[in-house]
Structure 1
Amino acid sequence: MALGLPLCWNNSVLPALGFSLRGRSVANVLFAATYTGVFRGRPNWLSASGLRWGLGSSAVVLAGYGAVLAIPALRKLPAEIAVLVPETSTLEWIAVHIPVGTVLAEEAVFRATLDPLLTTHGYPPALGAADFALWHIHPARTAGDSLPVTLAATTVAGLIFSALRRRADSATAPALLHLAINAGGALLPTLAAYVETRLAAGSGIGRLPGPMTIQP
């Protein structure tokens, strides 16, 4: 039941409800709170170890994003991606829906509750990572993303998040890493386009047509 409920919720029940983005974020948090209560989750959110490991791993990710922005050949890749944020502003998406509707909800379900439950019953951590990957089936299809690539990427991410939770004994560590990856990835194309625009203006090329349209 603990493995199946998240998959049923995110791939069937939540899409069928037809909520707006804000409604989905609220519904995800309520589902996560209920799930954590029913299965006696152990998030240990206030752990000092979780904070240290989370900030350390997040710093590595943010440094990687910084390198992408600093290297012209890499910066042009995200600069050419149009970020489509449905139903809301980019600021609201990054400040509210990613940290609360996505990161908090998913970490409460998978790392704070499912992972300890699997460990208690002698199941391998890979089972939780696989469940985390399958959670993303409907979102991947809705976004038009490659399903095999999404499943592979989220399985690897799930394994890393689970290992971080075990090391820190807290869901705070993977939550901070998860937030850095998602929020940084959402903001990266806009920042890359801004840098390209500023560089073009500084070199005398002039202002580009739009923040997400990069001319060679």
Structure 2
Amino acid sequence: MGIPVAWSNWLLPRLDLDMRARTAANAGFATGYALAFGGRPNWLSARGFRYGLVSASVITAGYTAALAIPAVRNRMSELSDRAPDVPFVEWVTVHIPIGTVYSEELVFRAALDPLLDNTFGPRRGAVLGAATFGLWHIQPARAAGDSVPASVAATTLAGLVFGLLRSRTESAAAPALLHLALNVGGALAPRLAARLRRPA
């Protein structure tokens, strides 16, 4: 449990890498962690894809509904642009899928969660895995200027949902698709809202 937390909050920030190198480093760390701890992502699970696509469609519908409501759309358009110093298309097609979704799902849902389930039982394991996932986000929250307690709480809750999907499907594909929809939607929605708000 301590290894991912130390990587995300201590070692990776001290490497002072740019976005492209950080994505490569995260993916390399995740792959090594999964190999070391017997991670079983089962990416090609048909059940995982079904659950993941349904979950992702719910999130997509939520973002679409939010954009359709003028008051919500106007509020979304005021959110700060969090795009890093890479082209936006590169961010949503490379860095979110690989640097975030692949890396985090491989570490947590494919490797750590099953290990904790086997050690502490499914209920305690789920809580411990989700809490570790929350703690993984301390430094990213600081770097983004977000509230650390709120970010840890939100990502812990997300970790519980992702872990439930993994346990139901025995695959990291389902939480990965949900995770991808959440993060890509969160990047796209404010930009779409800003464009829709502009006068013709």
The match for 1:143 is 144
Unaligned runs of 5+ in 2: none
Shift of 1:122: 2.4
SS of residue matched to 1:186: helix
Instruction: Give % identity.
Output: 55
Unaligned runs of 5+ in 1: 202-216
Please tell me the residue identity of whatever aligns with 1:63: A
| 1:67 and 2:65 correspond | yes
| 1:87 and 2:88 correspond | no
Q: Which runs of 4+ in 1 moved over 4 A?
A: none
Cα RMSD, aligned residues only = 0.8
The match for 1:154 is 155
Shift of 1:142: 1.1
Contact residue 82 and residue 187 of structure 2 kept, 8 A: no
- Residue 116 of structure 1, aligned match among 114, 117, 121: 114
Which of the two has higher C-alpha Rg? 1
**In structure 2, distance between residues paired with 1:76 and 1:88:** 26
Shift of 1:120: 1.1
**In structure 1, distance between residues paired with 2:15 and 2:80:** 28
The match for 1:207 is none
Aligned positions, number = 197
After superposition, the C-alpha distances for 1:167-188 in whole angstroms (9 at most, x for unaligned) are 1110000000000000100110
SS of residue matched to 1:99: helix
* Greater mean alpha carbon deviation, residues 120-129 or residues 153-162: 120-129
Please tell me the residue identity of whatever aligns with 2:113: D
Shift of 1:195: 1.4
The match for 1:204 is none
Shift of 1:148: 1.0
**In structure 1, distance between residues paired with 2:181 and 2:31:** 22
When the two structures are superposed, what TM-score results if normalisation uses the length of structure 1? 0.89
